[in-house]
C-alpha cells in the first residue's frame, strides 16, 4: 500500500483515489461520494470543499483530520478505526451520520448542519457544537461533560440519560433541555 506525505490533491473523483496511507495531505474540491475508503488511513490531513457523502469508512483510521465546508451525508463513522480517532468539522453538512459509541473527546463540530446525527453512547466530553444546527440529533447515554452548546440550534437532549455536568448552554437552548418535561420557555 502506498504511503503519501505532504501532498495536495485537487478535484479528484472516486475513480482517481488510491487506497493508501496519507500523512499531512490536503484534499481540495474532491468528489469521493460513495467511495469505499477501506484500507486507507489519514493522519494530519485536511479535506476542504469535498463531497464524502455515503462513503464507506470501515476500519479507516482518522487521526487529527479536519473537514472544512464538506458535504458528508450518511457516513457511519462508528465503523472506522477507533484508535486515536480525532476529528474537527467546520461549516460541514453532516446529516444522517453515525458516531455511535465513539471516543470523541474534545472533537469540534463548528457551525455545521447535523440533522439526525446519532451520538448515542459516545464520549463527547469537552466537545464543541458551537453554532451548529442539530435538528433530530440523538444523544442517548452520551457523555457531554464540559461540552459547549453555545450558539447551537435545535438540539434536544435529556439530562437524565446523558452526562452534562459542566456543559455550556445559551439561554436560547433551554427548550432543548426542558422539552421532556413539557416546560415552555419564553
5 and 60 co-located in one domain:
yes
> Does residue 91 fall inside a structural domain?
no
pLDDT, tens digit (0-9, with 9 covering 90-100), for 13-39: 999 999 999 999 999 999 999 999 999
Copy the grid coordinates of residue 31: 468528489
69 and 8 co-located in one domain:
yes
Task: Give the Cα separation of 53 and 96 in Å (integer).
Answer: 10
> Does residue 156 fall inside a structural domain?
yes
140 and 70 co-located in one domain:
no
54 and 16 co-located in one domain:
yes
72 and 110 co-located in one domain:
no
Structural domains of the chain, count: 2
- Letter string b/e over residues 149-182, b meaning 16 or more CB atoms within 10 A of that residue's CB: beebbebbbeeeebbbeebebeeebeebbeeeee
Total-model pTM: 0.92
pLDDT at res. 172:
73
- Long-range pairs of 101-107 with CB within 8 A, sequence gap ≥ 24: 102/77, 102/78
> Does residue 185 fall inside a structural domain?
no
Query: How many CB atoms are closer than 10 A to CB 184?
Result: 9
110 and 72 co-located in one domain:
no
Structural domain containing residue 139: 99-179
> Does residue 119 fall inside a structural domain?
yes
111 and 146 co-located in one domain:
yes
| SS3 assignment, position 21 | strand
> Does residue 143 fall inside a structural domain?
yes
> Does residue 66 fall inside a structural domain?
yes
To the nearest whole number, what is the mean pLDDT of the chain?
Answer: 93
Task: Give the Cα separation of 125 and 113 in Å (integer).
Answer: 20
* 81 HSE (CA, 13 A, CB side): 15
- pLDDT at residue 182 tops 70: no
pLDDT, tens digit (0-9, with 9 covering 90-100), for 62-89: 999 999 999 999 999 999 999 999 999 9
Summarize the confidence of residues 83-98 as an average pLDDT: 96
> Does residue 128 fall inside a structural domain?
yes
- pLDDT at residue 121 tops 90: yes
The end-to-end CA distance of the chain, in Å, is 58
> Does residue 164 fall inside a structural domain?
yes
CATH code of the domain containing 8: 2.160.20.80
- pLDDT at residue 117 tops 80: yes
Amino acid at each position: 500500500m502506498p504511503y503519501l506525505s505532504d501532498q495536495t490533491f485537487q478535484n479528484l473523483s472516486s475513480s482517481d483515489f488510491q487506497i493508501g496511507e496519507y500523512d499531512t495531505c490536503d484534499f481540495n474540491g474532491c468528489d469521493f461520494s460513495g467511495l469505499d475508503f477501506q484500507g486507507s488511513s489519514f493522519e494530519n490531513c485536511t479535506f476542504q470543499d469535498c463531497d464524502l457523502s455515503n462513503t464507506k469508512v470501515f476500519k479507516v483510521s482518522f487521526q487529527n483530520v479536519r473537514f472544512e465546508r464538506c458535504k458528508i451525508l450518511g457516513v457511519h463513522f462508528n465503523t472506522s478505526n477507533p484508535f486515536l480517532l480525532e476529528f474537527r468539522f467546520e461549516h460541514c453538512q453532516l446529516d444522517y451520520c453515525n458516531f455511535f459509541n465513539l471516543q470523541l473527546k474534545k472533537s469540534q463540530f463548528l457551525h455545521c448542519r447535523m440533522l439526525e446525527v446519532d451520538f448515542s453512547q459516545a464520549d463527547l466530553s469537552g466537545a464543541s457544537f458551537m453554532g451548529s444546527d442539530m435538528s433530530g440529533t440523538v444523544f442517548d447515554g452520551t457523555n457531554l461533560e464540559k461540552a459547549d452548546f453555545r450558539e447551537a440550534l435545535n438540539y434536544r437532549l435529556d439530562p437524565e440519560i446523558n452526562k452534562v455536568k459542566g456543559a455550556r448552554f445559551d439561554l436560547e437552548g433551554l427548550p432543548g433541555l426542558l422539552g421532556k418535561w413539557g416546560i415552555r420557555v419564553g
